[in-house]
Amino acid sequence: MYSKIEALLKKINEYPPLTEGEMLRLREEFIISFTYHSNAIEGNTLTLQETALVLQERITIAQKPLKEHLEAIGHKEAFNYIVELVPQETPLCERTIKEVHSLVLMDRPQDKGTYKRIPVTIQGAVKMLPEPHQVPLLMEQLLEEYRQYDEMHLIEKVALFHLKFEEIHPFVDGNGRTGRLLLNFELMKEGYPPINIKFQDRRKYYDCFTDYLLKDTPEAMTELIAGYVEEELERYLSIVQTANQLSEMDIER
């Protein structure tokens, strides 16, 4: 499953890197798309174009609630926050998780960055969520387990962490968005591109959680994430190849 991904990474590294300006532009485009899809999965009704207007121009969209505007802005700030942490190789820890959540839930100042204090249910879930008093210990155990996944490939590690994080559902709201940001944080620290789980794939994404809870295997989520990583690497390789071809043409002229 991972041989093609590793080959794509190797191929990309054979090319000169893109300029800082080019990387910034690609990141901004990714943030808009990632924010739109991640928020849409959770019920935000801003369109992709509206999300771009909110994030780039800070335009208020008529007929759309302030909450949805703040969700877009908070998600972008949370992504920029983890991007800043990547070069520092900041370990995944409770503090980082809570700080990411604080940005995601910027519209809920009393709930952001704190574990849930009331029971939370998910309609149609195949398993009951842990009670609030169980969350601190479960999160401590999850982080300790994650540090011991040494023999797993990174993609399998982050898939399993994501599944278990969402199974704990530590916050009163914002768990999905926070979980997908943390997933990308861990991918980027190891040189992989961030992935963007699409709104149109939400049923397949949800099925991965059901599959894990029923079969106790992360295989479905691992395959989903691996597919997205491969897709992003192929897209980036195409961009890098085109950029270098244009540079070679300029030199020949």
CA distance 164 to 173: 16
Q: Does domain 3-244 have CATH number 3.40.50.10330?
A: no
CA distance 84 to 222: 26
CA distance 77 to 101: 11
Residue 249 confidence class, pLDDT cut points 50, 70, 90 = low
Please determine, for residue 252, whether its predicted confidence score (pLDDT) is greater than 60: no
pLDDT, tens digit, 9 for 90 and up, residues 108-135? 999 999 999 999 888 767 788 999 999 9
pLDDT at 247: 72
Q: Mean pLDDT, the chain, as a whole number?
A: 94
Please determine, for residue 155, whether its predicted confidence score (pLDDT) is greater than 60: yes
Residue 233 near residue 12 (C-beta atoms within 8 A): yes
Token couple for 136: 């601190």
- Domain boundaries defined on the chain: 3-244
Q: Looking at residues 201-228, what average pLDDT do you find? A: 96
Three-class SS of 101-128: HHHHCCCCCCCCCCCCCCCCCCCCCCCC
CA distance 170 to 178: 10
CA distance 203 to 20: 37
Token couple for 250: 């300029």
- The model's pTM: 0.95
Q: Which residues are catalytic?
A: 169
- In terms of C-beta distances under 8 Å and separation of at least 24 residues, what long-range contacts does 17-21 make, across chains too? 18/239, 18/240, 18/243
pLDDT, tens digit, 9 for 90 and up, residues 55-94? 999 999 999 999 999 999 999 999 999 999 999 989 999 9
Please determine, for residue 218, whether its predicted confidence score (pLDDT) is greater than 70: yes
